[in-house]
């Protein structure tokens, strides 16, 4: 099987499993126990905390180990929002990007539904980029730059008010409790210029949280350089078993714990410590950072080969998210897709016609009224990178994305149709619709995500298999 679904999860690395093994066997003690075995486990836990902090450029005491990215996102958004409102009751607003992971969006909805917060969704441009101007406007003014985040149970994604009583629909820079914008998107790979957004948030005294789950191993994650107040990671994206993650929260940032119990993790996250998981996460992070530059360069070349191959060999295929080959001054420029350069040596069938690659902003696909309007203010992403090196995503008009997945698996290629955490949902991707892609077209989406062991031969085979499947389905 060719596995191109690494954005969902990766295989545990041998080095990680070997580091974890002693704490799953002879060293299995509870880190809260006072006997010698428990204290050995406690020392291993704190050593892992120090190693993780060193990779992130953080203080060990700022690291909170969690069960994964979803828990860390919940703790960040709810914990910071509730704690800040306790100190300053006027801070009743929460800002989130339109293409956030469901863990963030559902946390924002829960704050609105159960705790009286006003939760606002920030629109992005057709490449998925959140403009600093849009972000700044949302911090200081409740206008068209930010629309109220609808409840998932609502019949549409239109405007739905969750403003708390007495707010009168007005706002000022002092009413935002927390903002959350993901560093890199899990479906279309968009990389945000988080540093610029964090600087704007800091001007207004607003802590910015970023979900960096997809960025780890591909982008630099020094928290001081990012400028954020909180950051989320999940180990299984970089080679740990599933079930371990972390929240980094800057010292001095208020945080209300969401779970009551024995006061573990310095009172921020009660629950018996996953010592083996923490040790594995430390090793995985160290390996990912050591290999990051070479891995990103290699993955970028493979990703671009895949993009060129799909656009050349599959008539009508549409690249979603930023096009990394549309380069101006060395920076990716989201928008129209240029003619495809050379890709894989051969498509599934030499007779397949090669249409000009389409752009998601093509007039025939998305009417002008449905497009985002922030393109002119779009930034270049983190360190000039607009798209994750490991992500390529497409829409294939006229076919069902789930059908493509099944047929590709029958040919030995494993991919996905979007976030693995939205399992069972029959709704079109909120990420794609936020980019201005019509719901009907969004249901044709397929995501390919590369990993450490992906080869050029596998990329070429995946392109040929995709072309073959689309020929069958279009016949």
Catalytic residue set: 421
Return the ∠ at Cα 230 (arms to 224 and 232), rounded to 5°: 110
440 touches 386 (CB < 8 A): no
User: Which residues lie across from 395 on neighbouring strands?
Assistant: 318, 445
For the four alpha carbons of 180, 190, 163 and 198, in that order, the dihedral sign comes to positive
Helix 275-313, helix 36-56: angle, nearest 10:
40
**SS3 letters for the chain?**
CEECECCCCCCCCHHHHHHHHHHHCCCCCCCCCCCHHHHHHHHHHHHHHHHHHHHHCCCHHHEEEECCHHHHHHHHHHHHHHHHHHHCCCCCEEEEECCCCHHHHHHHHHHHHHHCCEEEEECCCCCCCCCHHHHHHHHHCCCCCCEECCCCCCCCCCCCCCCCCCCCCCCCHHHEEEEECCCECCCCCEECCHHHHHHHHHHCCCCEEEECCCCCCCCCCCHHHHCCCEEEEEHHHCCCCCCCEEEEECCCCCCCCCCCCCCCHHHCCCCCCCHHHHHHHHHHHHHHHHHHHHHHHHHHHHHHHHHHHHHHHCCCCEECCCCCCCEECCEECCCCCCCCCCCCCCCCCCCCCCCCCECCCCCCCCCHHHCCCCHHHCCCCHHHCCECCCEEEEECCCCCHHHHHHHHHHCCEECECCCHHHCCCCCCCHHHHHCCCCHHHHCCEEEEECCCCCCHHHHHHHHHHHHHHHHHHHC
Residue 408's contacts (CB-CB under 8 Å, 6 or more residues apart) are 414, 415, 446, 462, 465, 466, 469
Q: Tokens for 241?
A: 């078993």
User: Which is it for strands 318-319 and 391-395: parallel, antiparallel or unpaired?
Assistant: antiparallel
Distance CA 289, CA 35 (A): 35
């Amino acid at each position: 099987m060719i596995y191109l679904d690494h954005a969902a999860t990766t295989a545990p690395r041998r080095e990680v499993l070997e580091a974890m093994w002693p704490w799953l066997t002879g060293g299995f003690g509870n880190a809260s126990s006072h006997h010698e075995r428990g204290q050995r486990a406690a020392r291993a836990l704190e050593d892992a905390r120090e190693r993780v902090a060193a990779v992130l450029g953080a203080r060990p005491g700022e690291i909170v180990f969690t069960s994964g990215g979803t828990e860390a996102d919940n703790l960040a958004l709810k914990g910071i929002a509730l704690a800040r409102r306790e100190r300053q009751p006027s801070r009743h607003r929460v800002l989130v990007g339109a293409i956030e992971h469901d863990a963030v969006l559902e946390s924002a909805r829960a704050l609105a539904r159960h705790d009286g917060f006003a939760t606002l969704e920030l629109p992005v441009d057709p490449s998925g980029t959140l403009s600093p101007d849009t972000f700044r406007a949302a911090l200081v003014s409740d206008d068209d730059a930010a629309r109220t985040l609808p409840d998932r149970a609502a019949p549409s994604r239109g405007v739905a008010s969750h403003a708390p009583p007495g707010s009168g629909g007005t706002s000022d820079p002092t009413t935002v409790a927390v903002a959350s914008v993901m560093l890199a998107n899990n479906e279309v790979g968009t990389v945000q210029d988080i540093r610029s957004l964090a600087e704007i948030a800091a001007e207004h005294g607003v802590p910015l949280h970023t979900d960096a789950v997809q960025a780890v191993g591909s982008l630099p994650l020094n928290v001081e350089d990012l400028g954020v107040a909180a950051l989320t990671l999940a180990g299984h994206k970089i080679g740990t078993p599933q079930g371990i993650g972390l929240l980094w929260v800057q010292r001095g940032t208020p945080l209300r714990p969401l779970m009551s119990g024995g006061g573990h993790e310095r009172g921020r996250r009660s629950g018996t410590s996953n010592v083996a998981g923490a040790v594995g996460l430390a090793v995985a992070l160290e390996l990912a950072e050591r290999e990051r530059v070479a891995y990103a360069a290699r993955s970028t070349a493979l990703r671009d080969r895949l993009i060129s191959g799909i656009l050349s060999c599959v008539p009508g295929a549409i690249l979603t998210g930023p096009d990394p080959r549309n380069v101006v001054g060395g920076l990716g420029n989201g928008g129209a897709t240029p003619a495809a350069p050379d890709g894989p040596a051969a498509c599934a069938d030499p007779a397949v016609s090669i249409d000009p690659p389409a752009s998601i902003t093509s007039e025939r696909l998305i009417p002008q009224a449905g497009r985002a309007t922030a393109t002119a203010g779009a930034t270049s992403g983190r360190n000039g990178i607009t798209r994750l090196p490991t992500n390529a995503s497409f829409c294939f008009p006229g076919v069902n994305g789930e059908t493509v997945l099944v047929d590709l698996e029958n040919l030995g290629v494993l991919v996905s149709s979007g976030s693995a955490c939205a399992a069972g949902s029959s709704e079109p991707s909120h990420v794609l619709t936020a980019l201005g892609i019509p719901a009907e077209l969004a249901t044709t989406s397929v995501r390919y995500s590369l990993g450490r062991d992906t080869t050029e031969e596998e990329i070429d085979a995946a392109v040929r298999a995709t072309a073959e499947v689309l020929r069958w389905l279009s016949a």
